[in-house]
Structure 1
Amino acid sequence: MTDLHYLTATEMSRLLRAREISAVELLQAHLDRIEQVNPRVNAIVTLAAEQAMVTARALDSVAPAGPLHGLPVAHKDLVDTAGLRTTYGSPAFADHVPEKDDLIVQRLKAAGAITIGKTNTPEYGTGSHTVNEVFGATRNPYDLSRSAGGSSGGAAAALASGMIPLADGSDMGGSLRNPASFCNVVGLRPTPGRVPAISDKAAWYTLAVPGPMARTVDDLVLMLQVVSGFHPGSPFAVTEPFHTDPIETVEHMRVAWSPDLGGLPVDPRTAEVTANAPHVLEELGARVERVDLDLSDADEAFRIYRAWYYALAFPDLDILGPNTRWNAEQGRLLSGADLARAERLRTGLYHRMTAFWDRYDVLLAPVSQVPPFPVEDPYVSEINGVRLPDYLSWMRSAYWISVLHAPAASVPAGFTPEGLPVGVQIVGRPFADARVLRVARAFEQATGYGSRHPAL
């Protein structure tokens, strides 16, 4: 079958269940694709070909059962995988092999998914550019001279180039959304607790969440239904099962449009692409209103919470790279008064946004303030003539949303004149993940940008 690796996951699943293809055949198509393009993209950093083939053969010997039966998946290299190297992008763990799967891996395997390998990430997921000292940089499949984003950049690049149909990732400051935007795929930052995670260091920390990535919204929903659901190991896990009707209309939906989230600098190329997004939803019958949104309190709150987490998670500074070390050092400087201020700022913002959600169903905004940048650059230092003070600042359009405890999806929105992908961000009130995905699917179906694959 031609381009089997570029079918949707839902279509692959249909073919597997009808026995029109085998799990072995599907896996081999993806392994062939990895061999063909991964040396140039550097998205899959540890391959489990033999182990995956054993699993595929076993699945072919039984009737399809789980919802992901026979579908290859790759796991972010921050996620522990039993018997499979997990480096966290750190030289200190270059040969580390965990003994136990993380929860999200357990759930994917239980649903019949086949682990094909691990995807690249910056050291400990620090930053929205996927590069580390162990494996080097992941390159954007649409332009190999550009960044794939991060920190789930390996996942996004692997999806975009047909190496896998589904991938897991994680998001503290945009790490599911930014690479999805850069690589023309779909990523969802779920409401915290929708996809539970188990932590032995910061069990109550809600800024960082695991979540799904795919090439289409329907594929993402297929995966989300597997990885979501209550688990007692997470103290804020959502108890209700996730359900969504992907064919619901967005007609009469109230959409708030913010082209810059309250004055953030935006690259003109990104601004030009995302400016078309409101018109798409208007043509679908939504009521779109441009809003002046002030989320500036999110900046200090995010930076304090992030620094506190890094100081807690990484007590040994000697083994850290510069970005991770800087965050941990900032955390060591915090006082109780700083944490109290962050809590007050976030609480005030939450209540203001509660009133906002009474007026609007979703918020529409750019995912990232820039299109994919040169892969050699460590980060974006200037946007539209505005100099940025540090490596975090160019990610504000994503990390301000993280503070809201809200679900946010990145969906392909078009391309710059150079052919670089740009995504649009759809944000909903806390726990309205299904509504966010309904709008994302309607936008995806109306535009079709996600069907444009890279010319590798």
Structure 2
Amino acid sequence: MDIDLDQPAHVISDALASGNLTAAALMQATLDRIAARNPDLNAIVSLRDAETLMAEAATADATPRKGWLHGMPLAVKDLANVAGLPTTMGSPAFRDRIAPTSDIMVQRMQDAGAIVIGKTNTPEFGLGSHTFNPVFGATQNVYLPGRTAGGSSGGAAVALAAGMIAVADGSDMMGSLRNPAGWNGVYGMRPTWGRVPSEPLGDMMLHPLSTNGPMARHPRDIALLLDIMAGPDPRQPHGLDHDPLAPHLDADLTGRRIGWLGDWGGAYPMEDGVLDHCATQVARFTDLGCVVEGVPPPFAAGALWDSWITLRSYAVAASLGPLYDQPATRAALKDTAIWEIERGRALSASAVQRASLIRSDWFRAAARLFDDFDALVLPTAQCWPFPIDWTWPHSIAGHPMDTYHRWMEVVVPVSLIGLPSLAVPLPLSDGRPMGLQLIGRSRGDLGLLQLGQGWQALNAA
């Protein structure tokens, strides 16, 4: 059977539901695609035994459908737990760790019928927007061999773009659902913080920064997967109620106001060509009836960065501190992780409180901005994909980057205050991939997905 693995996930799901496609045939085609593409790309890791996967696909064909993911192969980011599979987090310290249970988000996808085939590659502990680690190595960009895939959901983005899976999960603290999506021509959504629950472990109150979310090749698939992932967990204090979004994607976008933030008034250095390409593409939203206009910087970029690196180091020190305290595991930590932990532990309570106040001020300022705009837009990255053997770009457009993550400062306005953001892919620029971050008001996830649906139609025409 000739199966088009590059078509949208909802089309594949419909074919399974109608009986025009079997889960067994889909699984075989998937394994064949992985065998053909993954050795070069290195996007999928910890791949399960083929005979076992084919048996599970046959079982899916013989049982009633559980949900729209029924019988569909899925690889889970190697920061999330899948019962019975390794969760290495890209670290030698966890190379042999097997998860006893699946995380909430993963279990929800399994309950909807997904067959987990393995994991997707990630940077060590998800730190840094470049997918490489000492356990599995580096993931290549799907368009540019020898260039980075971005990260930390780089394996997921590349697996999607190469047709090895049809939808994927990811997580985003500092652009990890947005940067790799933009660099590999797919969609990635950071939902409003609290919409997709994390695990009810450790501190659940102070300074949340990251969230899980969906990735796909089509906005409708993003919405369908988000509808599975989302919904509160009664064991956690900040969850949002969630009504299905996928039925409401198609909308008249006439008159929606889009604010183009560009390089934040020059605060964010951009590699040559990035800003011009993004500005040209943003203007195309007028073809959908939207109103596009430039927006001056709505908040001091320096204050946002100071708040961000304080709260990020504080959070990383809390999560990775136990590994630092044990000599055996400390020796396995990469330098940037040690830097974050030591920096976070050196912070005073007043410094953390000051960072939280800046964060609160920015949330209030952003809320006022959305009185005038339906969405704001920034590039998904400040540079084109860089050589895969770099650890990180040490300068952009002649401006030194003073930390391992400063080159991704453009994602901070969203991450700092938990706004929803949909990364949409752009047409290639001289063969180079880039994306746009569509940013919405808090809880405005649906409006962004509607814009994404319009963008998909515009580029498919």
TM bucket normalised to smaller: over 0.9
1:382 paired to 2:383: no
- Bigger mean CA offset, 234-243 vs 93-102: 234-243
Which residue does the alignment assign to 1:198?
Answer: 199
State the distance in 2 between where 1:416 and 1:375 align. Answer: 20
State the distance in 1 between where 2:200 and 2:351 align. Answer: 24
1:334 paired to 2:343: no
Partner AA of 1:388 in structure 2: M
3-state DSSP class of the match of 1:5?
coil
1:353 paired to 2:371: no
Cα drift, residue 243 of structure 1: 2.1
- Bigger mean CA offset, 347-356 vs 233-242: 233-242
1:199-278 superposed matches below 5 A: 199-204=200-205, 205-244=207-246, 245-263=248-266, 264-278=268-282
State the distance in 1 between where 2:390 and 2:212 align. Answer: 27
Percent of aligned pairs with the same amino acid: 38
State the distance in 1 between where 2:413 and 2:371 align. Answer: 20
Which residue does the alignment assign to 1:292?
Answer: 296
Partner AA of 1:4 in structure 2: D
State the distance in 2 between where 1:218 and 1:268 align. Answer: 33
Cα drift, residue 159 of structure 1: 0.5
Deviations along 1:92-137, one digit per CA (max 9) or x if unpaired, are 1111101010111100000011101100001110010000010110
State the distance in 1 between where 2:279 and 2:312 align. Answer: 31
3-state DSSP class of the match of 1:325?
helix
Contact 1:412 1:444 in 2 (8 A): no
TM-score by length of structure 2 reads 0.95
Deviations along 1:139-169, one digit per CA (max 9) or x if unpaired, are 0111111000000000001111111001111
- Bigger mean CA offset, 242-251 vs 119-128: 242-251
State the distance in 1 between where 2:427 and 2:129 align. Answer: 20
Cα drift, residue 3 of structure 1: 4.9
Contact 1:80 1:102 in 2 (8 A): yes
State the distance in 2 between where 1:214 and 1:345 align. Answer: 34
Deviations along 1:49-91, one digit per CA (max 9) or x if unpaired, are 3443232111100232312111111100000111111101100
Contact 1:150 1:178 in 2 (8 A): yes
State the distance in 1 between where 2:348 and 2:52 align. Answer: 48
3-state DSSP class of the match of 1:210?
strand
Deviations along 1:240-299, one digit per CA (max 9) or x if unpaired, are 324241110211001111111332111122112211223211121111110012441221
Which of 297, 303, 309 matches 1:303? 309
State the distance in 1 between where 2:96 and 2:89 align. Answer: 10
Partner AA of 2:98 in structure 1: V
1:447 paired to 2:459: yes
State the distance in 2 between where 1:186 and 1:373 align. Answer: 20
TM-score by length of structure 1 reads 0.96
Which residue does the alignment assign to 2:167?
Answer: 166
Contact 1:197 1:233 in 2 (8 A): no
Which residue does the alignment assign to 2:415?
Answer: 402
State the distance in 2 between where 1:278 and 1:178 align. Answer: 17
1:44-193 superposed matches below 5 A: 44-48=44-48, 49-193=50-194
3-state DSSP class of the match of 1:368?
coil
Residues 102 and 3 of structure 1: CA distance in aligned 2, closer, same or farther (over 3 Å): same
State the distance in 2 between where 1:404 and 1:343 align. Answer: 10
Contact 1:180 1:187 in 2 (8 A): yes
Partner AA of 1:29 in structure 2: A
3-state DSSP class of the match of 2:129?
coil
State the distance in 2 between where 1:323 and 1:29 align. Answer: 39
Which residue does the alignment assign to 1:422?
Answer: 434
Partner AA of 1:349 in structure 2: W
State the distance in 2 between where 1:127 and 1:102 align. Answer: 23
Residues 448 and 375 of structure 1: CA distance in aligned 2, closer, same or farther (over 3 Å): farther
State the distance in 2 between where 1:309 and 1:50 align. Answer: 41
Which residue does the alignment assign to 1:453?
Answer: none
1:429-444 superposed matches below 5 A: 429-444=441-456
State the distance in 1 between where 2:86 and 2:386 align. Answer: 30
Cα drift, residue 301 of structure 1: 1.4
Which of 268, 280, 283 matches 2:284? 280
Partner AA of 1:240 in structure 2: H
Contact 2:298 2:365 in 1 (8 A): no
3-state DSSP class of the match of 2:455?
helix
Contact 1:228 1:242 in 2 (8 A): no
3-state DSSP class of the match of 2:370?
helix
State the distance in 1 between where 2:210 and 2:203 align. Answer: 10
State the distance in 1 between where 2:210 and 2:98 align. Answer: 23
State the distance in 2 between where 1:218 and 1:94 align. Answer: 35
- Bigger mean CA offset, 199-208 vs 101-110: 199-208
1:40 paired to 2:53: no
Contact 1:202 1:309 in 2 (8 A): no
3-state DSSP class of the match of 2:410?
helix
Which residue does the alignment assign to 1:454?
Answer: none
Deviations along 1:196-244, one digit per CA (max 9) or x if unpaired, are 1114123234211000001111111111111111211321110232424
Cα drift, residue 336 of structure 1: 0.4
Which residue does the alignment assign to 2:327?
Answer: none
Partner AA of 1:80 in structure 2: N
Partner AA of 1:265 in structure 2: P
Residues 20 and 396 of structure 1: CA distance in aligned 2, closer, same or farther (over 3 Å): same
State the distance in 1 between where 2:253 and 2:264 align. Answer: 23
Cα drift, residue 443 of structure 1: 1.3
State the distance in 1 between where 2:394 and 2:140 align. Answer: 19
- Bigger mean CA offset, 296-305 vs 351-360: 296-305
3-state DSSP class of the match of 1:196?
coil
Partner AA of 2:225 in structure 1: M
